[in-house]
Amino acid sequence: MKQVRIGVIGAGLRSNIAKHWHNPDGDSIVTGVAEIKRDRLTKFKETIAPDCFTTTDYKELLERDDVDAVAILSPDHLHEEHAVAALKAGKHVYCEKPLAITDEGCDHIIKTAEETGKHLMVGFNMRYMRMFQTMKGIVDSGIIGDIKAVWVRHFVGYGGYFYYHDWHALKENTTSLLLQKGSHDIDIIHWITGSYTKRVSAFGSLDFFGGNKPNDLTCPTCDVRDTCTEASPHTLIECAYRDEIDVEDNNVVIMELENGIKASYLQCHFTPDYHRNYTFIGTKGRMENSEPDGKVYVKTRKSNSWEEFSDQVYDIKPAEGGHSGADPVICQDFIDLVLYDKQPIPTPLDGRMSVATGCAATESIRNNGQVVDVSRPE
């Protein structure tokens, strides 16, 4: 195989990543797309792959001989169904995070990949961002010693628009936003520390969004759209204060990792700004990032070595492409996996353990903060 022919399931907002796979004269090409909304199919052909096959039934896409691999870009609760079906159809699979919305769903996908012998890759694009690769390299260099504590604050300034104006706001579709949104952060904690979470205790609630508005209310038809602070002018238009919303918008998670590291993860969806703040504290110093400034700071403490003599500031160089340059790189990693068996940065188990941690934290939240062990695959 010299060129990977890719089929896409799901032509929503995340489908713009497919442009990095559509290189007709290169090593990958998008040959088909499945999406239940016809207007999205039309837009996909217009903006990404004009000559690709389109269908509203993903099973028709999986039956095609001109599809070698499938990108699962559908809503979270459909990942398990779509990924398992694609693997059984003999296709390699790229699945956007989270891998599934339950531990069991992840295990089902991974087992199917092992049984079919097909490649499975999880879309953890943060591992491909220059800022977090820099932070990983700093920790691995030993400059701040052995990590003992991790603090993560996630300010989700666009939380209302991205997560409370559509399907994300329902438990049945996401389990919780500790999976949909938090799986990135949980995975970065796991990756940089080199350890998965062992047990958690968490607290959370729906403090801002939700309410008593009709479930069929949309922003364009709302009487208070001109004064509402959450009125949506774009494609996600369901009312953020509708009655059916049942996913927490304010979460605090305490984590104990398998190697004894203590970590905390805070996620709030109604902050005025949007960024992630990570702090890693080791036996020789501390590392902290600033996404708005594009910097990583390293401060050292007394260690009776040359490392205590200076602090450092790393200026992260800008990169072209979505998600701070990560999207084109992660797309190429999937192609290299299929063509050359080159293993990508994240593993399927990484995807599974971020979900398992998010599920355990959600269980803790909904059971008065009780300590919950994070499951391991059998």
What are the DSSP calls for 246-298, one per residue? -S-SEEEEEEEETTS-EEEEEEESS-SS-EEEEEEEESSEEEEEETTTTEEEE
Instruction: Let me know whether 104 and 133 are in one domain.
Output: no
Q: What's residue 83's pLDDT?
A: 98
Encode pLDDT of 208-255 as tens digits.
999 999 999 999 999 999 999 999 887 889 999 999 999 999 999 999
Kindly state the average pLDDT of the residues 141-162.
Answer: 93
Query: Half-sphere exposure of residue 270, counting CA atoms within 13 Å on the CB side?
Result: 15
Instruction: Let me know whether 119 and 204 are in one domain.
Output: no
Identify the domain boundary among 105, 123, 141. Answer: 123
Q: How far is CA 103 from the centre of its chain?
A: 16
Identify the domain boundary among 62, 90, 123. Answer: 123
CATH label of the domain that carries residue 146 = 3.30.360.10
**Residue 336 domain-assigned?**
no
CATH label of the domain that carries residue 61 = 3.40.50.720
Q: Which domain holds residue 305?
A: 127-209+245-327+352-373
Q: What is the mean pLDDT of the chain?
A: 96
Whether the predicted pLDDT of 159 surpasses 80: no
Going by pLDDT thresholds of 50, 70 and 90, the confidence category of residue 163 is very high
Domain count, the chain: 2
Identify the domain boundary among 88, 123, 158. Answer: 123
Kindly state the average pLDDT of the residues 135-142.
Answer: 97
Q: What's residue 256's pLDDT?
A: 98
State the amino acid at position 116 in one-letter form. T
- With CA atoms as reference, report the closest residue to 96 among 127, 77, 112, 74: 74
Instruction: Let me know whether 79 and 156 are in one domain.
Output: no
Return the CA Rg of the chain.
21
State the amino acid at position 105 in one-letter form. G
- With CA atoms as reference, report the closest residue to 150 among 9, 298, 254: 254
Q: What's residue 160's pLDDT?
A: 83
The Cβ of residue 322 has, within 10 Å, a number of other Cβ atoms equal to 16
